[in-house]
C-alpha cells in the first residue's frame, strides 16, 4: 500500500518524501511544478528523491478533475498527505485566483480522491498559522475561533479545514490538519524572509525590513516538522475522526533576531532598508503546542541560532557561493 504525497516537489513535501522513503515506505509524489518560484529548485529536490527505489513521481495538477485518479488507483493508497497549495501571503494580493485553484478546487479533488479510496486509513493536510489572523495575544490555541483571516491565503486555509470537516462528517474519513508555523531549513522556499536575507547578504545587497522590523514569527525547523509528520502519518485520530494541531516552535522570534542569525551565519552585516508593514502580513505568530505534545510527543528543539547556519551552509553549497 502506498502513501500519496501532493506537493512532493515542494519544500516540506520533498523532505517528508525523503524521510518516508528512508523508512522503507512506497511513496507516489505529485506536483504541478508551477513557477511561483523557480521550478529548477523543485526539479533538484526531485532528483534527490529519484535515488530511492520506492519513489514514483507524476507531474499532475490537483485542480484538474480526475487527474489524481489517472496517476494512481485510489484503492491502492493507504495514506494521503496533501501539501500541494499555493503558499505565501503576499502573492495572494497579486494573484488571488491561483489560491482558489490550488487550495480550494485542488483540495476538493483531493477530498474526492480520498472518498473513493476504499483502503484509506488517514488523510493528513496542511493548514497554516495564518488562520489565526493579525493578533498579538499569543500563544494561539487550536480551540481559538478563527474567523478573521488577514489574507485570501489564510481564508483558503480556514476553508480547507471546513471542507475537511464536512468530508469527515459525511464519509467518516479520518483526518489530521496541521497548522504549520514559518517552517525553514535546507532546500527551503525562495519567497521566505530567511532565504531572501541570505541571498541579498551574500551578494552584498541591502535587505528590506517591513513594519520597521517589528514582527515576530514562530520559526520552526524542517527536521522538527518532518519528525512529527512521520509519526502523524501512521497515527489517525481515534475518537473525533478529525484533529487539528499547531506545529510551531512556541518561541516567537523578532525579525531583527532573524537578521542577526543570518548575518552571523553569512559572516557579513546587512545594509537595512526600513519599510511600512505590507498588506496581508500579520504582526506575530506564536503557537501553543501542548496539544501536539500530548498527542504524539511533539518536541521541537531547534533554535534559529542552530537552524539558520544549516540553511546558509546548504545555500552556499547549492549555489556554489
Cβ-based neighbours of 56, under 8 Å, separated by 6 or more? 27, 28, 29
Among 79, 155, 183, 258, binds ligand NAD (CB under 6 A): 183
**Which of residues 32, 114, 250, 253 is near ligand NAD by CB under 6 A?**
32
The CA distance from 32 to 210, in Å, is 31
Q: Is 153 a catalytic residue?
A: yes
Cβ closest to ligand NAD, residue 25 vs residue 61: 61
Residue at grid coordinates 504541478 = 32
Interaction of residue 250 with ligand NAD, rule CB under 6 A: no
Candidate ranges 77-85, 208-216, 258-266, 276-284; the one touching ligand NAD (CB under 6 A) = 77-85
Asked if residue 280 lies in contact with residue 92, where contact means CB atoms within 8 angstroms, the answer is yes
Q: Is residue 34 near ligand NAD by the rule CB under 6 A?
A: yes
19 binds ligand NAD (CB under 6 A): no
DSSP string, 141-199: -TTS-----SSHHHHHHHHHHHHHHHHHHHH---EEEEEE--EE-TT--TTSHHHHHHH
Shortest distance (Å) from residue 92 CB to ligand NAD: 11
286 binds ligand NAD (CB under 6 A): no
Cα–Cα distance measured from residue 150 to residue 156, given in angstroms and rounded to the nearest whole number: 11
Tell me the site size for ligand NAD, rule CB under 6 A. 30
Question: How is residue 238 annotated by DSSP?
Answer: S
- Which residues does the annotation mark as catalytic? 153
Q: Can you give the binding site for ligand NAD, defined by CB under 6 A?
A: 6-7, 9-13, 30-34, 42, 61-63, 83-87, 102, 106, 126, 128-129, 180, 182-183, 189
Amino acid at each position: 500500500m502506498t502513501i500519496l504525497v501532493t506537493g512532493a516537489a515542494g519544500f516540506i513535501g520533498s523532505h517528508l518524501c525523503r524521510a518516508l522513503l528512508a523508512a522503507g515506505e512506497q511513496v507516489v509524489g505529485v506536483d504541478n511544478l508551477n513557477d511561483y518560484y523557480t521550478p529548477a529548485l523543485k526539479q533538484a529536490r526531485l532528483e534527490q528523491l529519484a535515488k530511492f527505489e520506492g519513489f514514483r513521481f507524476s507531474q499532475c495538477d490537483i485542480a484538474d478533475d480526475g487527474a489524481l485518479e489517472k496517476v494512481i488507483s485510489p484503492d491502492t493508497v493507504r495514506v494521503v498527505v496533501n501539501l500541494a497549495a499555493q503558499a505565501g501571503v503576499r502573492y495572494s494580493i497579486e494573484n488571488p485566483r491561483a489560491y482558489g485553484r490550488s487550495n480550494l478546487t485542488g483540495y476538493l479533488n483531493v477530498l474526492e480522491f480520498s472518498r473513493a479510496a476504499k483502503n484509506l486509513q488517514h488523510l493528513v493536510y496542511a493548514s497554516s498559522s495564518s488562520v489565526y489572523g493579525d493578533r498579538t495575544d499569543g500563544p494561539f490555541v487550536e480551540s481559538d475561533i478563527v474567523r478573521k483571516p488577514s489574507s485570501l491565503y489564510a481564508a483558503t486555509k480556514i476553508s480547507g479545514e471546513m471542507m475537511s470537516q464536512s468530508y469527515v462528517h459525511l464519509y467518516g474519513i479520518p483526518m489530521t490538519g496541521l497548522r504549520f508555523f514559518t517552517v525553514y531549513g535546507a532546500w527551503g522556499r525562495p519567497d521566505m524572509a530567511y532565504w531572501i536575507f541570505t541571498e541579498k547578504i551574500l551578494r552584498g545587497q541591502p535587505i528590506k525590513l517591513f513594519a520597521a522590523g517589528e514582527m515576530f514569527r514562530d520559526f520552526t525547523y524542517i527536521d522538527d516538522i518532518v519528525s512529527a509528520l512521520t509519526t502523524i502519518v501512521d497515527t489517525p485520530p481515534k475518537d473525533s475522526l478529525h484533529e487539528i494541531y499547531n506545529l510551531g516552535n512556541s518561541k516567537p522570534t523578532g525579525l531583527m533576531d532573524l537578521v542577526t542569525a543570518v548575518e552571523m551565519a553569512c559572516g557579513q552585516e546587512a545594509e537595512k532598508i526600513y519599510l511600512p508593514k505590507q498588506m496581508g502580513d500579520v504582526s506575530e505568530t506564536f503557537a501553543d503546542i501542548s496539544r501536539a505534545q500530548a498527542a504524539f510527543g511533539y518536541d521541537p528543539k531547534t533554535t534559529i541560532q542552530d537552524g539558520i547556519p544549516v540553511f546558509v551552509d546548504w545555500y552556499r553549497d547549492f549555489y556554489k557561493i
